[in-house]
Structure 1
Amino acid sequence: MVASEQVFPDRRIGAVWEPVRARCYAAAGAYLDFTDELDAAEAAGTPIADGQARADALVRQLNDAARGVDDFYNAHRAGLAEAATVRASVPQLLTHVRAEAEQVLTAAASSGFTSYPSISAGVRRLNEALLTASSSDPGTSVAAAREAANTVQQATAELSNALAQAPSRATAAANAIASVTTRLAAVRNRAGALGPAYSALLREFSAASSADLTNNERESRRGMDAADEALVGARVAAADRDPETALDLTATAREYLAEAEQLVDAVTRRLELLREVRTDPEAQARTVRFRLRDAQMLAVDRGLVAEWGSVLDAQAERLDRITAGLTGRHPDYWAYVTELGTVAEFIAGVVERIRKQASEK
């Protein structure tokens, strides 16, 4: 019982046992009281009133208490046995995980990689876990001792894994630095087209078509400079035999480069897109109209015209208004594309709801 309460407190086996135990104590108390009365009556030579009936009732009470113990044991036998086994195994578990931990700590100390952040952090975590485990007493707190053993085991595995990966870190860092260096050069080369592309946007299209791209050149340059700075730091760390820091810095450089690439590509792709739209403005609208017709046919096919027909018809009118808005010497082609995209997204949402509604019928 004690083992179950210590190992599996969430099962609350003590609360289940309490009424059974109370019946046993009550029956034992009644038995002792009755035997005292019998002894006193025998010594005095006087009979006990309703003696046989009281004896029969006491036997039933004792049998009921015994049956309660049997029922409790049969119902919880497996759990009690499991708890006892676990409780008995915790001291051996602590001894085992401590021995494994000491082996890994010894390997780390002699590895030549103690300066690596992953190794130094792993050693620190494992020593802290061992300190906690050493203060755990499985005799008084099995659950805490098991948790401490599990923490030691996990910290041991993490340090062991870091030691296994450490020899390949230098090569990985060198490869990462080379890869990011190449990528940075490529982004700088592509950035050379950003300025001319932005100038072309201003010349060929309305100012509104590129208003959101005004700061892209400056921000992309800032991102490339930040990537370059991180890359320099990575090279320094690699030279200082700290490949893990070098890898972290190359990852930072990649993040800056990804942002810079998006800023550069946003300008050049905007110019390409607007030129395509200017050449054939109806091409984008035709694509959206085609999706609209598909959605209308789906509504008919699923028998949901009453619910969605007018909604989709309204999108056809909306498309007419959008295409009619392309007027003047420099139409706002970007607003045109953006509005068409909004309609296309709305139609896609309607299609999804039609399919869901039809599946629920």
Structure 2
Amino acid sequence: MASRWFRRSRRGVGEDQIAAARAALTATFMDLEDRQSAIDVAVQDVIRLHPDSHLGRSWSAVRETCYSATAAYLEAAADPDAAARNSSERGTLGMIGQAQQMLDGAVSALTGFEEHHRDQLTASAHEAADVRRRIEAATVGVHQVERSIDSTDPAYLRYASVAAAVTDLAAARRVLAEESLNGRLAAAGDAADHLETALTRVREVLAEAPKRMQQAHHAIVTARTRLQALEHRVDTIRPKLSALLREFPAASSEDLVGNEPRAIDEIAVARQLLDSAATAEAQGRPEDALDVTAEARRHLASAEELIDITRDRLDLLRRLRDDPGEQERRVRFQLRDAQRLVVSLELVDQWATVLDAQTARIDRIVAQIASPRPDYLAYSRELDHVSQFLTTTVAKIRASVHDG
């Protein structure tokens, strides 16, 4: 009896050692699994964000070490009763100890990898979290906008701006889904941003759609009022052109001779366009009406310019005839300012000759109006050229001082 009890006691002590060893082995394995999974997620984020990164190759070696240790653990932990029946306690403890050693080595490899790449892993984790947040926000936004589209008046959905925005939204959704499916996290983040832009555009056009009809009507009415005013003003071109020809040399107005028929043509085109815009409005196509009205406005602006330039030319030449020295005095004052600047900056040697030449140039221009029928238009334009030259020269002088 004593010997059987002694043998049973020795066996019990061995089983306790094996149980403790197995418990320690399992604890190490669970720690390894948790850490390996967390690091693997972080590494995959790095790869998805930066496909050219070499981190994946470094991680593969560490991961293989973990796999080998896991295999040893599974073998040592498989069916404890069978292991006890088929091997000695010493052999069982040895197998568990070998597995423990491999697990400890794998944990050490994980620790070294994590410490060496901590900054990159941390940065990528933050970046990946931000990308996923943007994707989630865009996805939520899509659901909200889809509900808005479903509750929108079908007439508004036929507007060009709304239809285009909805089409762009669908395309942006497809791109995000494709990039996400392929695991391209960085590209998915960009796609989420584009999707947000598309969502914003849809919200804007849906909010504006109810106002389009009123906007189109107002635009057409305003343009027609402007057209009517120009129809009356176009008749002023001919008498003003006649006055130019009577009072000044023909060269002063030869570029204006065709203004009246050109203005009439521009008004006629605008009138046809506004009729088309009114038709689009009546058919419930306010955005088309707005586009056509905008084109009509461009033709009205051309007509107005043709009318105004004739009036402005006559006014300019009469002012010059009444006081030709006013523009001359203005340009000479500009020249004196430039000369004072050169003196104050001590750059006389570099720029005095250039500026003095402008004095002679102004004198020659002024001498031209001494004739019985002077060309005031040429006089004014030549003085304008001098003024522009002086402006450019002063800018160069200041730039040379600044660069020096």
**Fold shared, TM-score > 0.5 on shorter chain:** yes
8 Å Cα contact 1:220/1:263 also seen in 2: yes
* Structure 1 residues 138-149: aligned runs within 5 Å: 138=181, 140-149=183-192
**Deviations, residues 274-327 of structure 1 (Å, cap 9, x unaligned):** 111122222221211111111111211221111111111110000111111224
8 Å Cα contact 2:227/2:271 also seen in 1: yes
Give the Cα–Cα distance (whole angstroms) in 1 for the partners of residues 321 and 227 of structure 2. Answer: 33
- Please say if 1:341 is aligned against 2:384: yes
- Going from structure 1 to structure 2, the CA distance change for 1:311 and 1:89 (only over 3 Å counts) comes to closer
Structure 1 moving runs of 4+ over 6 Å: 22-25, 64-68
- Please say if 1:105 is aligned against 2:149: yes
Seq. identity, %: 35
Deviation at 1:85, TM superposition (A): 2.9
Give the Cα–Cα distance (whole angstroms) in 2 for the partners of residues 265 and 329 of structure 1. Answer: 28
Which residue of structure 2 aligns with residue 219 of structure 1? 262
**Deviations, residues 184-221 of structure 1 (Å, cap 9, x unaligned):** 22222222211111122122211211122232222222
Q: TM-score, normalised by structure 1?
A: 0.78
Give the Cα–Cα distance (whole angstroms) in 1 for the partners of residues 357 and 172 of structure 2. Answer: 66
Alignment partner of 1:209 out of 242, 247, 252? 252
Give the Cα–Cα distance (whole angstroms) in 2 for the partners of residues 290 and 124 of structure 1. Answer: 61
Alignment partner of 2:163 out of 98, 120, 124? 120
Deviation at 1:248, TM superposition (A): 1.4
**Deviations, residues 76-111 of structure 1 (Å, cap 9, x unaligned):** 132232255357658745752442342233133x45
Give the Cα–Cα distance (whole angstroms) in 2 for the partners of residues 220 and 251 of structure 1. Answer: 18
- Going from structure 1 to structure 2, the CA distance change for 1:7 and 1:289 (only over 3 Å counts) comes to same
Give the Cα–Cα distance (whole angstroms) in 1 for the partners of residues 332 and 138 of structure 2. Answer: 70
8 Å Cα contact 2:135/2:189 also seen in 1: no
Alignment partner of 1:79 out of 108, 123, 126? 123
Higher-Rg structure is 2
- Please say if 1:270 is aligned against 2:309: no
Aligned residues: 322
Which residue of structure 2 aligns with residue 40 of structure 1? none
Which residue of structure 1 aligns with residue 54 of structure 2? 15
- Please say if 1:2 is aligned against 2:57: no
Aligned amino acid, residue 140 of structure 1: G
**Deviations, residues 114-170 of structure 1 (Å, cap 9, x unaligned):** 222112222232233344445554363334444444443332221221111111112
Aligned amino acid, residue 122 of structure 1: A
Equivalent residue of 2:284, what SS? coil
Alignment partner of 2:213 out of 151, 170, 173? 170
8 Å Cα contact 1:94/1:149 also seen in 2: yes
Give the Cα–Cα distance (whole angstroms) in 2 for the partners of residues 94 and 290 of structure 1. Answer: 62
Q: What runs of 5+ residues in structure 2 fail to find an aligned partner?
A: 1-42, 67-105
Which residue of structure 2 aligns with residue 355 of structure 1? 398
Give the Cα–Cα distance (whole angstroms) in 2 for the partners of residues 275 and 87 of structure 1. Answer: 69
8 Å Cα contact 1:90/1:138 also seen in 2: no
Q: What runs of 5+ residues in structure 1 fail to find an aligned partner?
A: 29-61
- Going from structure 1 to structure 2, the CA distance change for 1:94 and 1:352 (only over 3 Å counts) comes to closer
8 Å Cα contact 1:184/1:228 also seen in 2: yes
Q: TM-score, normalised by structure 2?
A: 0.71
8 Å Cα contact 1:238/1:246 also seen in 2: yes
Query: Which shows bigger deviation, 299-308 or 70-79?
Result: 70-79
Give the Cα–Cα distance (whole angstroms) in 1 for the partners of residues 361 and 292 of structure 2. Answer: 50
8 Å Cα contact 2:342/2:352 also seen in 1: yes
Give the Cα–Cα distance (whole angstroms) in 2 for the partners of residues 66 and 116 of structure 1. Answer: 59
- Going from structure 1 to structure 2, the CA distance change for 1:305 and 1:92 (only over 3 Å counts) comes to closer
